[in-house]
Amino acid sequence: MPPIQTTIKCPSCGSPQPAIIEQVIDIARDPGSKTRFLQGRLNFFQCPSCGFQGALATPLVYHDPVKELLLTYVPAEMRLTSIEQEKMLGGLIQQVVNSLPAESRKGYLLRPQTALTHQGLMERILEADGITREMLEAQRAKSKLAKELIDADAAARQALIAEQDQRIDADVLALLNAIVRSASAQEDAAFAEKAAQARDAVMQYSTAGKRAQAQKEEMEIAARDLEALGNQFNIDALVTLVASAPSLDRVTALAALGWQLMDYGFFQKLTERVDRAAGSERERLGSIRDRALVEIQRIQQAVQSEMNATVGVLQSILQAPDLDHAIEEYLPELNDVFFAVLEANLESARRNKQEAAIQRLEEVKTKILAALDQSLPPELRLIRDLLGQESDEQAERMMADHAGEINDNFVAALKAAVADLEANSPGAPSERLKKLLAQAEKQAALARFTGK
């Protein structure tokens, strides 16, 4: 059930335009299609003639075999009779069933559930992920509040903050921050300005804002204290720093920044201090230790769940029927954590001599590296290749071979790379790039002169 390449009439200007229509979202075959749908990117049409953009109305069948979920949706605006609907959906469901091996054709496939609206379809999918309608409604209410705070003028805004103080929480603050960022990124200066004013007012006047402000200050102090510790770091000094925290907020801040240092040994020493103390001091140290423990557990859980999510991404890519497509889909999400998980999987497959797994993982790794490489601008690719040469002479020869690419862009990128290397890892690589830079500047000047 590949997407259908077709020609549609633009709903706005009526001109015929090519479009891609997907009618089956089967996350067993294409794990990325779920995200595309939830983000509104599935069947999204933009008219090259008149600029119209919007979702194309089409029947949809959603299939998640793991959750045994089969959902259908037919937009009311298509005005199909129930017989026409049944016929269209029947054909799509048949495609889903046909793609499954006989042993996976279970009873739920005979009982598709109907969603009456696009929104309803999304809610059913999210519900199966454990995201309830109440959670979605709470989220919507928060978005609405954020929008009202931005739209209000200064006086009305202050009144709104006082009136809604209880509903303004960390989520609303995070939303406002995200809106400010995205408005600035889209260069919508007027809106960004208004959003920033709303955020600043909320920080200044709301209970949650004041608290966030105080936490931010605690964070800054904790960062300074830990940095001061860095020069002669030892675990006793860290225990002393945490034990002398003037507030539990400071303990939270220290844990957020120094959690990797707060291991079993750290807590043992902290507990010794609690046990040695008496009276109110014992109570004070005890509550500091309890807070630190809670924070460390919370952070470790968050790290673990990011790891789990990353493992999920890797699984989706490994199982994808169309590997290139899956990699393209997930490329923006592939970070250092992902590569660490990939390497760990390779390591374990090698240890257990699982040939098929090794091969697939190697294939995935090679393709991802190639895809990342493709997304690099050509001048950065050349610089990377130059750094990869064994000797300076080879690098110089390589650059001479690529004379056609040595232009002002390349020189600028090379300058930036030298500065970057100097700052982060001075030594041999930056020396080589400096030599090459001198040669490149000559070549580029020469090319300009000869008009090449």
Going by C-alpha positions, the residue among 122, 11, 12, 109 that lies closest to residue 60 is: 122
52 scored as a contact of Zn ion (CB under 5 A): yes
Q: Between the CA of residue 364 and those of 200, 254, 316, 324, what are the distances in Å? A: 45, 39, 11, 9
Residue 51 beta carbon to Zn ion: minimum distance, rounded to whole angstroms: 7
Query: Could you tell me how far CA 148 lies from the centroid of its own chain?
Result: 27
d(CA 99, CA 4): 17
Going by C-alpha positions, the residue among 104, 205, 195, 220 that lies closest to residue 159 is: 205
> 3-class DSSP state for residue 61?
strand
Q: Which is nearer to Zn ion, 13 or 302 (CB)?
A: 13
Residue 205 beta carbon to Zn ion: minimum distance, rounded to whole angstroms: 46
Q: Which is nearer to Zn ion, 50 or 346 (CB)?
A: 50
Q: Which is nearer to Zn ion, 16 or 377 (CB)?
A: 16
Size of the site for Zn ion (CB under 5 A): 7
SS (H, E, C) 339-407: HHHHHHHHHHHHHCCCHHHHHHHHHHHHHHHHHHHHCCCHHHHHHHHHHHCCCHHHHHHHHHHCHHHCC
φ, ψ (nearest 5 deg) of residue 188: -95, 80
Q: Which is nearer to Zn ion, 6 or 114 (CB)?
A: 6
Question: Near Zn ion by CB under 5 A, which window of 47-55, 67-75, 282-290, 390-398?
Answer: 47-55
Residue 14 beta carbon to Zn ion: minimum distance, rounded to whole angstroms: 7
Q: Which is nearer to Zn ion, 13 or 174 (CB)?
A: 13
Residue 47 beta carbon to Zn ion: minimum distance, rounded to whole angstroms: 3
> Which residues lie closer than 8 Å to 100 by C-beta, 6 or more apart?
65, 109
Return contacts of 74-83, CB within 8 angstroms, 24+ apart. Answer: 75/118, 76/116
Residue 19 beta carbon to Zn ion: minimum distance, rounded to whole angstroms: 11
19 scored as a contact of Zn ion (CB under 5 A): no
13 scored as a contact of Zn ion (CB under 5 A): yes
d(CA 365, CA 348): 15
Going by C-alpha positions, the residue among 301, 289, 212, 304 that lies closest to residue 254 is: 289
Q: Which is nearer to Zn ion, 54 or 429 (CB)?
A: 54
Q: Which is nearer to Zn ion, 51 or 377 (CB)?
A: 51
Question: Near Zn ion by CB under 5 A, which window of 11-19, 95-103, 211-219, 334-342?
Answer: 11-19
Question: Near Zn ion by CB under 5 A, which window of 2-10, 166-174, 218-226, 258-266?
Answer: 2-10
Residue 186 beta carbon to Zn ion: minimum distance, rounded to whole angstroms: 23
Q: Which two tokens stand for residue 59?
A: 């029947």
Residue 50 beta carbon to Zn ion: minimum distance, rounded to whole angstroms: 3
10 scored as a contact of Zn ion (CB under 5 A): yes
Identity of the residue numbered 133: R
Q: Which is nearer to Zn ion, 52 or 267 (CB)?
A: 52
Q: Which is nearer to Zn ion, 15 or 186 (CB)?
A: 15
Q: What is the pattern of x (binds Zn ion, CB under 5 A) and - over residues 129-158?
A: ------------------------------
> Which residues lie closer than 8 Å to 114 by C-beta, 6 or more apart?
71, 72, 73
d(CA 197, CA 161): 13
Question: Near Zn ion by CB under 5 A, which window of 39-47, 122-130, 371-379, 442-450?
Answer: 39-47
12 scored as a contact of Zn ion (CB under 5 A): yes
50 scored as a contact of Zn ion (CB under 5 A): yes
Question: Near Zn ion by CB under 5 A, which window of 43-51, 172-180, 253-261, 404-412?
Answer: 43-51
Q: How many CB atoms lie within 10 A of CB 19?
A: 20
Residue 16 beta carbon to Zn ion: minimum distance, rounded to whole angstroms: 10
Question: Near Zn ion by CB under 5 A, which window of 48-56, 104-112, 144-152, 280-288?
Answer: 48-56
Q: Which two tokens stand for residue 294?
A: 């809670």
335 scored as a contact of Zn ion (CB under 5 A): no
Q: Using alpha carbons only, what angle is made at residue 268 by residues 264 and 274, rounded to the nearest 5 degrees?
A: 140
CB 133 within 8 A of CB 127: yes
The residues of the shown chain that bind Zn ion, judged by CB under 5 A, are: 10, 12-13, 47, 49-50, 52
